[in-house]
Amino acid sequence: MANTSTSADEGGVLETIKVVVQALLIALVVRTFLFQPFNIPSGSLIPTLLIGDYLFVSKYSYGYSKYSIPFSPPLFSGRIWAAEPQRGDIAVFKLPRDNSTDYIKRVIGLPGDRIQMIDGILHINGQPLKKQAVGKEDVNAGAGYRDRATFYRETLPNGISYVIQELDIYGNKLGRNTPVYQVPPGNFFMMGDNRDNSLDSRDMTSQGVGYVPFENLIGRAEVIFFSVSEEGAAWKVWEWPWTVRWNRLFKPVH
């Protein structure tokens, strides 16, 4: 009886290990080839994405590069099953200056485009984009400061529109007037919707973002599956009734 009991216990342990390994392999496949979760730690895409948003990014949208794989092993260069992003996509990518930090911005410039900001109006290939004021609101400007924000609806040449934010006092207004950026082949120009508080492709210095190589793209933001206010934390389950932004759950990202 003792031997039978020991064998049954060992069989139960082995079966548990087998199930755990299978679950880990399935999770790895899903994360690598289908969807990867990300959380938003900064306000560079306000009002589209808020600090505390958790979203799924589709890994298959642009094909796969070494950055699609955990720890970015140098198994190959370039992309396989590649599909270029559309102007207006919100994409996650590896920061070009270190190829390790995850950033998320909106795709504004495609290869060959000329991008320029003039008095806060985005110009693509010499044409100003339509920019319509849609409201004002008092907002958190960071570091304990409040500011007045003006919201505008901006429309891209392909018809995609979204709302951007400009700050009245504390925003970095240098980004409202820029030189002309000629996007190199195989690269993209990325910008945040929080135009006065976004480190993006407008900064070409060694501490900026610059142009983003196609290889660095990880995937396209698809849907917000969870969201918690800046005062809360996802792990504080007991605070969820008043810290979770229930109206943002399962909201598509545009």
Active site residues: 44, 105
Q: In what order do the strands lie in the sheet with 130-142?
A: 130-142, 145-155, 161-167
Report how far residue 105's alpha carbon sits from residue 112's, in angstroms, rounded to the nearest whole number. Answer: 19
Structure token digits, residue 253:
């990202």
Exposure string for 32-51, b = 16+ CB within 10 A, e = fewer: eeebbebebebbbbbbbbbb
Q: Which helix (H) or strand (E) holds 90?
A: strand 90-94
Provide the sign of the torsion angle of the four alpha carbons 61, 66, 72, 73, taken in this order. Answer: positive
Structure tokens, 200: 């993006």
Number of other CB atoms surrounding residue 80 within 10 Å: 9
